Structure 1
């Protein structure tokens, strides 16, 4: 969430612009922009949190190897393969349906 502060400033500016606008079509467009920015902000936060939790799980497993048997490791490898196949969306990516 390195871009949190600028994103919040963009959201505040859009809100101020929305409140100052009287044209219905422009208001609707600004509402969509504002909603998209908020959704994008939350999406980046969720991704950040998931990355953090996964790192904690990996560290726990590394530090407590004696607690896991071979079966647990196979499941962990399967889980890792699933995670590797998922596409990662970073904060620099532009997802049109969230930005719209």
Structure 2
């Protein structure tokens, strides 16, 4: 069993990152619907591995396991082209980004 611990840690880390990415995307969707303008440069500085909200030894409810989530729309209406162009310019000529 000891050999499985690193893979379980990686699985847990990936689950936290995925959950955080969904939460961040939901907030961005809400802000866009409210009329906020989202700067892609600001989004580029939000790390998906946030752990402050995790209570490892707290009390947890499992009734949510039976709840069917709504369909998820992964599209964000944010133009990331300026960031891509900035990365290409920083890479220099003849280098892949």
TM-score (norm 1): 0.36
1 or 2 for the larger relative contact order (CA 8 Å, sep ≥6)?
Answer: 1
TM-score (norm 2): 0.37
Q: Which is helix-richer, 1 or 2? A: 1
Larger Rg: 1
